[in-house]
Amino acid sequence: MKLFYQTHSPYARKVLVAAHETGLAGQLEVIHHETSPTRPNDDVIALNPLGKVPVLIRDDGVAIFDSSVICEFLDGLHAGRKLIPVDGEARWQALRLQALAQGIADSGIAVRWEAVRRPEEVRWPTMRDAQLQKIAAACDFIEQEAELEGVPTIGEIAVATTLSWIEFRDVYDFAAERPRLAAWYKSFSQRPSMLATMLEGDTHD
């Protein structure tokens, strides 16, 4: 299988960490592709009309996207402990946490558009601040309510890879005054799957 990837994408990193956690990383040919709404990548668009990575190309040539769908597909390829619990409350907790992480990443990208990526004369500070409030509220929720113990699910993987990107891009100091979240993130970041998938590179618009 081939994974169209971007070395500075939180969504792509989630997929690759999941592949490591399930023992499937060795079955993936990882190919870096730069993508941006302002600089379309024809190779990516040929597989995903939205022009976004990650995209997984199965051995039969079928392309799968987005990151959550790819992770669920990979989770069905191994016989070990599932990252997405099969049923019960554990399943919904994991999926809810993944959705929260996705929202943090989406808001973080919106913050960067209004802080550094748009031409300065058309940036909207009100939108930037509103998105930062969403990130803060989500981090507060994780600090206070999320279960972050034991073996990782897709929820923990999504949170860790999203926070790693928030930290990498200096979007928001999520660890400030959140000792539980900060300690968990520091510990999770030392997992082999995280150490093997470090973020790097710059966005090109």
Res 192 pLDDT > 90: yes
Mean pLDDT, rounded, for 62-68:
98
Beta-carbon count within 10 A of 205 CB = 12
> Do 88-191 and 2-75 have the same topology in CATH?
no
Classify residue 75 as exposed, middle or buried by CB count within 10 Å of its CB (0-12, 13-18, 19+). Answer: buried
Give me the chain's average pLDDT, please.
Answer: 96
Give percent of the chain above pLDDT 90: 95
Taking the C-alpha atoms of 177, 180, 182 and 186 in order, what is their torsion angle to the nearest 10 degrees? 160
Mean pLDDT, rounded, for 49-55:
97
Each residue's pLDDT tens digit, 72-116: 999 999 999 999 999 999 999 999 999 999 999 999 999 999 999
pLDDT for the residue 204: 86
Res 24 pLDDT > 90: yes
CATH 3.40.30.10 is held by the domain 2-75: yes
For residue 78, give the amino acid letter.
H
Res 150 pLDDT > 80: no
Is the peptide bond prior to 152 cis by the omega test (within 30 degrees of 0)? no
pLDDT for the residue 12: 98
The CATH code of domain 88-191 reads 1.20.1050.10
Residue-wise DSSP of 112-180: HIIIIIS-GGG--HHHHHHHHHHHHHHHHHHHHH----SS--HHHHHHHHHHHHHHHTT---TTTT-HH
Q: Classify residue 203 as left (phi > 0), alpha (psi -120 to 50) or beta.
A: beta
Mean pLDDT, rounded, for 121-125:
98
- Where in the chain are the domains? 2-75, 88-191
